[in-house]
Amino acid sequence: MTRIAILTCLVLSLSGCMAVIGYEPTAAELEAIRHGEDPRANEDANKQQGNAGESGERVGNHDTRPGAMNPVAENTEGPSQGTVLRWLDSATVVIEADSHRETVALAGQTVDADPVKERDALDARMERWTYGTAVRLQYPLKDKQGEIIYRDADGRLIATIQ
């Protein structure tokens, strides 16, 4: 009898997990994930958006790419500190700074073509700067006029972290 009860509990608990295990993200969700965004964070936004009596229509630019969030992202000043949210690869980290998510391309770092070396580099960075770690950002790149370059063409911050 005990075995049947345990088996029943196991089957019931796993049946709820199958919806998550079998989930495959769409191309749009994969693109959002690549840019460090949570594609399912605002699934119910249309239902809950606006004050009482207002329509649920969305107004303005709702592109979630890092550069699209800030239309003047060419070289807007970046934050001086933030908190690590996640690593996308060994050369790209997503941070939260000033209540905004920012994707940071680490200055002078590239993704290694060798998957083993890339994984080792990512593991080393994840160990040094784990999720929730406070980091300071420094912007080492300067243009010909000597002004700091804060962002790349995709709107990502270009910085080193400490």
pLDDT tens digits for range 31-60: 777 777 776 665 555 555 555 444 444 444
Which amino acid is present at 64?
A: T
Mean pLDDT of all residues in 1-12: 81
On the 0-12 / 13-18 / 19+ scale of CB atoms within 10 A, 49 is: middle
Assess whether pLDDT exceeds 50 at residue 62: no
Kind plus residue range of the DSSP H or E element containing 88 = strand 81-89
Q: Which residues contact 103 (CB under 8 A, 6 or more apart)?
A: 35, 36, 66, 88, 92, 93, 94, 155, 156, 157
Region 140-153: mean pLDDT is 91
Q: For residues 93 and 84, is the Cβ–Cβ distance under 8 A?
A: yes
Does pLDDT of 108 surpass 50? Answer: yes
Amino acid 97 reads: A
Select from 138, 133, 132, 131 the least CA-distant residue to 104. 138
Q: Is 97 helix (H, G, I), strand (E, B) or coil?
A: strand
What confidence category does residue 76 fall into, taking pLDDT thresholds of 50, 70 and 90? confident
Sign, CA torsion 124/128/134/139: negative
Q: Answer with the residue of higher pLDDT: 35 or 115.
A: 115
More confident residue, 3 or 23: 3
Matching CATH number, 34-43+58-161, of 1.20.120, 2.40.50, 3.40.470, 3.20.20: 2.40.50
Q: Mean pLDDT score of the chain, rounded to an integer? A: 78
